[in-house]
């Protein structure tokens, strides 16, 4: 009896991925459900390819243990899943992997049970499973052999039977969904799954997948103007398709069922796939910020990808425009928005004292940017929780990277080092280097905690912090800063920048600068109006 091994099944799936890539454009052309955005083939191909990296470890490629091999493929598909169809495909493979976890090899009967497990997993991932889609094909192939008919032992004949059952199911989708009947096409996701199966069958039969008859599949492009008379899947959207929002939530705190139920109240096309402690979420929504704000309360959000489906549906495919360059997006406060803008920062989100940075603030700014690549500077450790969601995110095909500066002083040093004509990687390196070469001090009045550590007259004292940590205190600001410069400066001719607070007069700051320069002849002092409320001075030392 033939047994499927890890190496043979991985090779068959790779052939399925090749077939998917071959038919990708055709699958895109017949994509009308749930959104006529022409990307089903691309999404399925990207998802399966993520589980089968071309440059993967050669030892992993030759691994004979079926369970381990399929688990590795499933993990890759989970993290690389794209779009409605890609997330469903990854969940199907995860379900198969779950059944075969402990199998070093398996026969066709076990493989059929794995297909059944994958089907259950895919159905369970959706709030409202829809027939006439990829789900229907999964269901049909998992019942290829009924109780009276044992699975064929020969692998090629087994996958041949699965293929023909899938092909019939694909043809039937046209009559199961009205939009498919009106458009004269089969479901694109269902057809994509058929293509994968054709590649697997071809691998085990020793033939070329191009020679396999996929049935009567209309090859004419489906005009995207069909979207004008197709109802949007997003409720209350006035026929706007909204945003396809995908992300992963790690270390989830709530049950998957509770999360799915909550998401169903604020979005549509909800698909959730779980892999260990991580949950991949796919939704269609007109308010992606509301989805983000909810999900970041449930765990650590990563792998964010948001695409405007209106642009995908109504905009005809065009060649990519030239890259508009790299832009900076900084979160600032007080008068620092003006300083950052004058220093070359492209986009500013100014947060007033007491206000909270939200996902909506960032999304709106990114969507309005003309750049394809953006670097986000946080400037405040309190913003980390929301900012880190957007690290390595993709928003309407714009890629984002986060640079944690944790202070306005460090953030400004990074902005000054920024070069809009250099690459993102080059800028991240040079900006990080600028932060490491800049000391960020703050002069504050002592808090209650700090007062307990000051021996006399704490109300008359000022405290000095370095990167948020108290290092000194004194009744005189000039003495505090002089000691700090002497202790921490490594330059023969240091540059000190004083950012004057809201309640410090220009005369007071000028006098402080003169005093410091008279005491330290090699020191240069620059004065700027920061306008910060809590600190009389923020200080940069280079």
Token pair for residue 211?
């020679």
- The tally of CA atoms less than 13 A away on the side-chain side of residue 539 is 32
| pLDDT for the residue numbered 180 | 83
CA distance 393 to 78: 16
CA distance 39 to 189: 10
Token pair for residue 377?
């500077």
Sketch out the chain's domains with CATH numbers. 6-228 (1.25.40.340), 243-302 (3.30.70), 326-436 (3.40.50.510), 439-541 (3.30.1180)
CA distance 89 to 86: 5
Distance, C-alpha 191 to centroid of its chain: 27
Radius of gyration of the chain measured on its C-alpha atoms: 29
Provide block-wise average pLDDT over 10 residues at a time, the chain (542 residues). Answer: 84 95 90 78 92 60 80 93 91 95 92 94 89 92 72 86 94 88 87 95 93 77 45 49 90 89 90 88 92 92 88 52 74 85 90 83 91 90 86 91 90 91 92 93 77 53 90 92 92 91 93 94 92 91 91
CA distance 495 to 504: 21
Task: Evaluate whether 41 touches 28 at the Cβ level (below 8 Å).
Answer: yes
Using a cut of 0.85, tell me whether the model's pTM lies above it.
no
Distance, C-alpha 116 to centroid of its chain: 31
| pLDDT for the residue numbered 393 | 92
Q: Taking the CB of residue 513, how many other CB atoms lie within 10 A of it?
A: 18
CA distance 9 to 2: 12
CA distance 309 to 291: 16
> Among 96, 87, 95, which Cα is nearest to 6's?
96
| pLDDT for the residue numbered 362 | 93
CA distance 209 to 197: 10
CA 267-280-294 angle, 5° bins = 45
Task: Evaluate whether 373 touches 353 at the Cβ level (below 8 Å).
Answer: no
Token pair for residue 468?
């948020």
CA distance 219 to 206: 27
> Among 143, 136, 259, which Cα is nearest to 189's?
136
| pLDDT for the residue numbered 337 | 87
């Amino acid at each position: 009896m033939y047994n499927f091994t890890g190496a043979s099944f991985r090779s068959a799936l790779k052939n399925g991925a090749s077939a998917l890539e071959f038919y990708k454009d055709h699958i895109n052309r017949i994509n009308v459900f749930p959104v006529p955005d022409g990307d089903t083939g691309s999404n399925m191909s990207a998802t399966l390819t993520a589980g089968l990296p071309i440059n993967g470890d050669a030892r992993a490629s030759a691994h004979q243990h079926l369970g381990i091999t399929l688990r590795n493929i499933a993990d890759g598909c989970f993290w690389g899943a794209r779009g409605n169809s890609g997330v469903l495909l990854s969940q199907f493979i995860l379900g198969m992997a779950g059944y075969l976890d402990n199998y070093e090899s398996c026969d066709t009967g076990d493989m059929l049970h794995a297909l059944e497990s994958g089907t259950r997993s895919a159905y369970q991932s959706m709030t409202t499973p829809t027939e006439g889609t990829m789900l229907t094909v999964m269901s049909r192939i998992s019942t290829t052999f009924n109780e009276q008919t044992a699975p064929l032992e020969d692998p090629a004949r087994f996958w041949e039977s699965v293929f023909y059952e899938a092909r019939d199911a694909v043809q039937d989708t046209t009559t199961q969904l009205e939009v498919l009947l009106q458009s004269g096409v089969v479901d694109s996701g269902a057809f994509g799954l058929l293509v994968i199966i054709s590649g697997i069958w071809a691998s085990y039969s020793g033939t070329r997948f191009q020679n396999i008859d996929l049935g009567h599949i209309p090859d004419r492009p489906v005009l995207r103007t069909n979207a004008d008379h197709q109802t949007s899947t997003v409720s209350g959207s006035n026929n706007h398709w909204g945003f396809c929002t995908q992300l992963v939530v790690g270390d989830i705190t709530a049950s998957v069922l509770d999360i799915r139920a909550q998401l169903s109240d604020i979005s549509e096309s909800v698909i959730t796939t779980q892999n260990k402690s991580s949950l991949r979420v796919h939704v269609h929504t007109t308010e992606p910020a509301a989805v983000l704000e909810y999900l970041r309360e449930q765990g650590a959000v990563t792998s964010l990808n948001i695409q405007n489906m209106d642009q995908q549906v109504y905009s005809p495919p065009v060649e990519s425009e030239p890259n508009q360059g790299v832009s900076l997006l900084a979160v600032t406060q007080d008068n620092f928005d003006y300083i950052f803008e004058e220093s070359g920062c492209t986009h500013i989100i100014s947060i007033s004292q007491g206000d909270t940075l939200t996902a909506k603030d960032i999304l709106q700014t990114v969507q309005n940017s003309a750049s394809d690549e953006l670097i986000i500077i946080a400037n405040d450790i309190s913003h980390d929780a929301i900012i880190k969601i957007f690290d390595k995110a993709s928003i309407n095909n714009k890629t984002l990277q986060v640079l944690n500066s944790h202070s306005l002083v460090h953030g400004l040093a990074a902005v000054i080092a920024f070069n809009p004509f250099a690459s993102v990687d080059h800028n991240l390196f040079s900006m990080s280097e600028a932060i490491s070469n800049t000391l960020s001090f703050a002069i504050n009045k002592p808090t209650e905690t700090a007062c307990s550590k000051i021996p006399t007259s704490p109300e008359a004292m000022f405290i000095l912090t370095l990167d948020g940590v108290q290092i000194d205190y004194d009744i005189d600001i000039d003495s505090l800063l002089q000691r700090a410069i002497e202790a921490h400066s490594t330059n023969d001719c240091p540059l000190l920048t004083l950012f004057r607070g809201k309640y410090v007069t220009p005369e007071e700051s000028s006098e402080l600068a003169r005093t410091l320069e008279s005491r330290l002849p090699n020191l240069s002092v620059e004065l700027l109006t920061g306008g910060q409320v809590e600190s009389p001075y923020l200080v940069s030392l280079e």
